[in-house]
Amino acid sequence: MPKPLFPGRRWPVALLLMVAAALALIWTFLLRENRLFAEERQQRFEAERWVVADLVAENLLRQLQRLDDVLLLLRSEYVAERKSVDTTIALLRQGSLQELGARVTVIDRDGYVATSDAPRRPGERVYLGDRDNYIHFSSGGRDSLYISGPVQGRMTGAPGVQLSRPIFDARGQFAGVVAFFMEPRQLTAFVQHQDLGPDGVLTLYSAAGKVLGRSREMEKHLGKQLSDELFGPFKKSSHGLVTRVSALDGITRTVAYRWLDRYPMLVMVAVSPRGLEEELLAQRNANLRKGMLLSLLVLLCGGAVAFYQLRRDRLETMLARERGHFIEAQRVANLGSWERDIPGNQVWWSDETYRILGYLPESQKPSLQAFLARVNPRDRKRIEVNFAQVREQGGSLDIACRLLLPGNVERYVHLGGRAERDGSGRPSRLTGTLQDVTDYMNMQQALADAEERWKFALDGADAGVWDWFVADNRAYFSPRWKAILGYRDEELPSRHEEWLERLHPDDRERAMAAVTDHFAGRTPVYEMEFRLRHKDGNYRWVLSRGKVCARDPEGRPLRMLGIISDISARKQAELDLARSEAMQRSLVSAMAEGVVVQDQAGKIISANASARRILRIGENLVGLDSTDPEWQAVREDGSPFPGCDHPAMVTLRTGVSCDNIIMGLHRPDAGLIWLSVNSRPLNFADERQPFAVVTSFADITEIKAAELSSRIYRDVLERAGRAILITDGDGTINNVNSAFVSLLGYSREECLGRRTGFFRSNRHSPEFFSRMWQALKTRGEWRGEIWNRRKTGEAILVELDVRSVTDAQGGVRQFVAVYQDVTELRRSQEEMWRLAHHDPLTGLPNRSLFLERLDQALAHARRQGERLGLLYMDLDGFKSVNDTYGHQAGDTVLQEVGRRLQNAVRTSDTVARLAGDEFAVLLAHLSVEDDLERVMGEIENAVARPVMWQGQELRVGVSIGSAVFPDQADVAESLIGAADQAMYLAKQQHRQAAGPGGAPSPSLQSLHST
């Protein structure tokens, strides 16, 4: 340990005294230097002002003396010979007056101008008897040079100062005034070349305190009168030096003043002391900085000494403690240290380094070879090259690699280090660290996977994200959120006000009430359907879901996060459904047949007015039961008709429709009435047991009473709500009803006598009609859907119910066919199916249909023992196209890629768009693996070709992953996961190959090759 600078325990006092003495010495010297410098500069400044004031006074005194001499000369000339004055003035004008620029005027004893060299009109008499100089001398003023205040010249029209002498006649009586009229600037012209500084000024005052001339702003201040309070101090002495604020312009100046000898005029030379003050301030600041710097230096030195003294006492204990902390920190952080002596090839490892490498200190000597033996063979060459480079050239190590420990355990480590050089500059020693970063790498991968799944879920749900920072009313809207409203990301700012402005006025109160309820905790989540204004001006229905994700300690919401989905199509479907339901209700109400709906227990839950009319019941039918004995039903033969055999109850029990069941009812007020009853089950799509039944019935009492007379027969036929065709046993038409005529457009006359085949659509094969006739022969009936053609040529789909009418011997006499047009129903069903299973942009199957076909193909492949190929694709560079050229260009690329994919595979294969720029291809009946590789190559070439859009060549690449059934997986989920993993690896290889900023290029990857 080094020796202390201050032995003993009283070193703090000695050090403090030394520092205080040094500081006192520094500041004493600097303050003395400031005082001496200020005194010297002040004396110089005052001396310079005196010199300038004396110079000005002497120049002005000489000028006034010359003018006074000229006045005395003119006065004597005027007294001696008045006519010669003009000549004298002319001579003087060419001499001394020319230089002085003064005008001469002689005023007679009456106050009129006797002669003057100032311009005036011929014959004009100018009166100057009211001037101060005339009044002064005519009132007995003494004979001396009189200097008046500034006046406006009556002949020149310009301001000026009058210098005057009285004129006396031979008797000594006042005979007039001789005067010079001078412009004020002539009094100060000789100082214009003097540098008085930016605020310096020369001012001439009369004995009465009026401004006679000024070197700056003369027009503004000429003739101003100083008060006695301000001017009085200058009358107390013939000269002096004062610093004061100017009464004329308010500027503080140092004033050197002097009264002229023999003449009533005060000269002031005033200069602002700002320059002197700034110089003194700069000197003080410079010395202050010196003092602070020196003081800081002294304090730093004292502090350094104190720090050295204090640190010395604790150093040994700290070193021991720090070593223990260092070892513990290495253990906690999984961070080991190592050293290597390059000349001696000696290596040292810390305990933590041994543990990370899986060695025991007693069984393994540390060496580079022992470390490399633990490195994964795929990373070993890279590590050797880096160590060799640092060993030869110096520098540092910063490498991540994988270790392969006993038991085939793989760990990630980070290796860092640096080289120390010897006296010759060559690396002599390496020191560094080894840290186990396996947990960090696993966490990074898990975060990346979670983010990918989150993005995939949002893209698949076609939802836009919003984030509202409630406290400061900031908001974020994702690009998809803005796209739902028709905007690009840069077109719509992320502001909470944008949402409020686009909210439909009718929905605003509901939406804000829902937000308030959620903020107050009355709802677990915020969920609301409302309308937002689209870019095109229309409103779109959206479903918004969100939740407060942060609150302050008082429970006030700070942040709310959520998504929106476009539900315009669903809302339109609901509206269409409501309209359809209303129309159906209207149709049912308007039908002549009675219609009732009964629930699963047989209770009537709905009935139209015709039902009450036919059944002769005035009250509501709702709540009645078909099995009630009160109905007193009978069969055609007069036997009882049990309630359990009612068509509605049979259909509820069996799920089978009942048609044209004849039933008689005894009604108290109408006797026996006859009904023709039909029943149809109402089923959910995935259930066979009906949840309700629709029963229709017609009153056929008159038909029965007339024993099927032709009149009643035709009446029933015409009143039927459906199209009916009746043929003989050979299929020749012998009757049709009006509904049939309306259905196909052929008149009754065009139908009678012809066979039924004339309105066929040719959409069914001969085998179809053979099966129909076979069913009629064997069972006497056929029911199904068939395509017919109207007279206009339009094909329509009808539901056909054909039944044979036999005679007593069982022979077929007639066929009765009942038609119902279901074309629009089928089209609606097909359109709904197509929208639910196809991508609206490309027309390709969507994820739902693709998964359905995949399940079907897998089932078929298992049965037939065939192989099945699955390709997963993701476009490379598509986001750049979308961001650069817009969504319209991106849509064009997606549509063209979809067409090219379909052209690259067989018609029996399935091409689907799963989400965004992700596609999949299902290859059935795969024979050999070469077929899969060939298709992948064709797809690669097809996608690589440029897509033309508005004169631009748009290029994208593709990353393809593949999997084969049953080689890689035997169920749909595993097969999709395998292909998706292969595609992800392919994209990673593509990014690594392309490097930063690399252009997109296709990348292929099969699962078996990874």
Please compute the mean of the pLDDT values over residues 613-622 and round it to a whole number. 74
CATH architecture of 81-182: 2-Layer Sandwich (3.30)
Task: Say which CATH topology domain 334-436 has.
Answer: Beta-Lactamase (3.30.450)
Q: What is the pLDDT of residues 528-555, one digit of tens each?
A: 999 999 999 999 999 999 999 889 888 8
Q: Which residue did the predictor score with more confidence, 774 or 7?
A: 774
The per-type count for the chain, helices as H runs and strands as E runs, is 29, 39
pLDDT of residue 132: 85
pLDDT of residue 885: 92
**Amino acid at the residue 230:** L
Residue 747 predicted with pLDDT over 60: yes
Interior angle at CA 22, CA 17 and CA 25, nearest 5 = 125
Q: What is the pLDDT of residues 269-315, one digit of tens each?
A: 888 777 777 778 888 888 888 888 888 888 888 788 777 777 766 66
pLDDT of residue 1002: 42
Tally the C-alpha atoms within 13 A of residue 255's C-alpha that lie toward its C-beta.
22
CATH architecture of 464-566: 2-Layer Sandwich (3.30)
CATH architecture of 838-1009: 2-Layer Sandwich (3.30)
Residue 984 predicted with pLDDT over 50: yes
Q: Alpha-carbon distance 886 to 950, whole Å?
A: 12
Q: What is the pLDDT of residues 928-972, one digit of tens each?
A: 655 788 889 999 999 999 999 998 999 999 999 999 999 888 899
Nearest CA-CA partner of 701 in 624, 806, 594? 594
pTM over 0.75? The answer is no
Q: What is the pLDDT of residues 379-428, one digit of tens each?
A: 889 888 888 888 888 788 888 899 988 888 888 998 888 888 887 878 88
pLDDT of residue 1004: 42
Q: Would you say 820 and 723 are in contact if contact means Cβ atoms under 8 Å apart? A: yes
11-80 helix and 274-333 helix, angle to the nearest 10 degrees: 150
Residue 709 predicted with pLDDT over 60: no
Quick one: how far is CA 309 from the chain centroid?
59
Q: Would you say 181 and 103 are in contact if contact means Cβ atoms under 8 Å apart? A: yes
Task: Say which CATH topology domain 591-705 has.
Answer: Beta-Lactamase (3.30.450)
Q: Alpha-carbon distance 592 to 139, whole Å?
A: 138
DSSP-based three-state secondary structure for 898:
helix
DSSP-based three-state secondary structure for 147:
strand
pLDDT of residue 12: 77
pLDDT of residue 945: 94
Nearest CA-CA partner of 681 in 663, 666, 693? 693
Residue 263 φ then ψ, to 5°? -125, 140
pLDDT averaged over the chain? 83
How does DSSP assign 203-252, residue by residue? EEEETTSBEEEESSSHHHHTT-B--HHHHGGGGSSSEEEEEEE-TTT--E
Confidence of residue 875 (pLDDT cuts 50, 70, 90): very high
Confidence of residue 846 (pLDDT cuts 50, 70, 90): very high
Enter the DSSP assignment of 408: T
| Burial class, 129, CB count within 10 angstroms (exposed 0-12 / middle 13-18 / buried 19+) | middle
**CATH number corresponding to 720-828:** 3.30.450.20
Q: Alpha-carbon distance 624 to 665, whole Å?
A: 15
DSSP-based three-state secondary structure for 427:
strand
Q: What is the pLDDT of residues 50-92, one digit of tens each?
A: 777 788 888 888 888 888 888 888 888 888 777 777 777 777 7
Enter the DSSP assignment of 632: -
Enter the DSSP assignment of 760: B
